[in-house]
Amino acid sequence: MKQMRIKGRNILKGTIKISGAKNSAVALIPASILSDDIVTIDNVPNISDISALNEILEFLGAKVKLENGLMTIDTKSIQNKNIPKEISNKLRASYYFMSALLGKYKHVEMYFPGGCKIGARPIDQTLKGFETLGAKVKEENNKFTIDAEELIGGHVYLDMPSVGATINTMLVATKAKGLTIIENAAKEPEIVNVATFLNNMGAKITGAGTSEIRIMGVEKLKGCFTEVIPDRIETGTYVIAGALLGENLKIENIIPEHIESLTLKLTEMGVDMDIQNNYLIINRCEKLKPVNLKTLCYPGFPTDLQQPVTVLLTQCDGISVLEETIYENRFQNIPYLNEMGANIDIIGKKIKVNGPTKLYGAKVVATDLRAGACLILAALIAKGETIVTDIEHVLRGYENIIEKLTNVGAEISLEEI
């Protein structure tokens, strides 16, 4: 078990370089097995979710090399084997192997994926995509056996623009015969990253990034090179840190368009930022205006920044209301923020944040990845020392978080307990 110890109230100045996006990399890696050759992916973040996917790749027989973010995957000796529950359970993205193996071998056996416990997170839309393309799905005790005599393109209408279902359907459709159309597709930048990767391998995908994606199936996919886009959620987390404590804090290797829903809200609050092509410079703001926020699919305000931004709302001068529309259980950070001195009421799907409040160090628990990020931000502005336990959740998604924050002036350390 690991915990983080943080001494609060240090000013943050210097530069933070953003890593490759977790939610892109975790899809690109399973997608690589659709290729019949060697693929190279650059800017892969060094986080534990990637180690779990590497474990799956190696279990399947792929040869994997990862050095300084450059990952080479040789899939020539891969075999279609049943991925053990203990490995697939480690993360949500393990189910991208479900679609990649189904696309490649027309048969897959796999357990329900893992992931942060932030809501029900069913996979019905993914299974609907598989079935529309001709697969038969059997489920017993959370184990899925999926077979297709032939995969044939079809018209998939998603009930909600699910990121996972869009990527899973895209992966299978790439190897299906004929045209697949995904309607009400998710538009997240990670989907564009995956589609570009598949196209580099020889797939024929158009419309990624819009709500209608068209995929003309191909028989073979070749090797290729691709790069993981910068992590917009990591960017947003450090931008929020900058709004709280920054003194000309530079955040570089970013795509500003991907975090516009956040930066526009910050401007509404009165935060001072200089946004350039691939970096921004941010300063802390003494008097923040309260705002209302609602999480939505991209390009709306991302649910993954909902917990981190709550810390900023505790510093606004007045009442802010935030509504979470994607997950039912993403307020597990709130009792801990209140223990630290915040004044937040949970009212169904909404929270009412009464600001401004001073925060004080406490012993708190990272119940999930973004709750952990939220508590780290709270600790950075709190008076005294905070201990965040269960920090493994955070290490799943934030590369070198200790070094990145220490380098800009934070006092933060990782302890084994």
Closer CB to ligand EPU, 14 or 122, in the complex = 122
Q: CA angle 199-203-208, nearest 5°?
A: 60
Min dist CB 127 to ligand EPU, Å, is 7
316 belongs to the catalytic site: no
Virtual torsion, Cα 4, 364, 407, 403, nearest 10 deg: 40
Closer CB to ligand EPU, 235 or 303, in the complex = 303
Using CB atoms, what's the residue nearest to ligand EPU? 164
Closer CB to ligand EPU, 370 or 404, in the complex = 370
Closer CB to ligand EPU, 122 or 318, in the complex = 122
CB count in 10 Å sphere of residue 304: 25
CA 149 to chain centre: 34
Comparing CA positions, the residue from 212, 209, 261, 200 lying closest to residue 232 is 261
Closer CB to ligand EPU, 30 or 355, in the complex = 30
Euclidean distance between CA atoms 393 and 62, whole angstroms: 27
Euclidean distance between CA atoms 144 and 238, whole angstroms: 39
Euclidean distance between CA atoms 375 and 371, whole angstroms: 6
Euclidean distance between CA atoms 319 and 296, whole angstroms: 21
Euclidean distance between CA atoms 96 and 99, whole angstroms: 5
Min dist CB 233 to ligand EPU, Å, is 6
Min dist CB 364 to ligand EPU, Å, is 18
Q: Please return the burial class of 86, using the count of CB atoms within 10 Å of its CB with bins 0-12, 13-18 and 19+.
A: exposed
Residue type, 228: V
Virtual torsion, Cα 323, 325, 327, 330, nearest 10 deg: -10
Q: Are 154 and 130 in contact (CB under 8 A)?
A: no
**Catalytic entry in 116, 285, 297, 374:** 116
Binding-site ranges for ligand EPU (CB under 6 A):
23, 26, 92-93, 116, 119-126, 160, 162-165, 186, 303-304, 326-327, 369-370, 397
Euclidean distance between CA atoms 190 and 228, whole angstroms: 9
Min dist CB 295 to ligand EPU, Å, is 9
Dihedral of alpha carbons 404, 90, 54, 217, sign: negative
Min dist CB 125 to ligand EPU, Å, is 3
Min dist CB 242 to ligand EPU, Å, is 20
> Can you read off the two tokens belonging to residue 222?
């070749």
Closer CB to ligand EPU, 165 or 311, in the complex = 165
Active-site residue list: 116
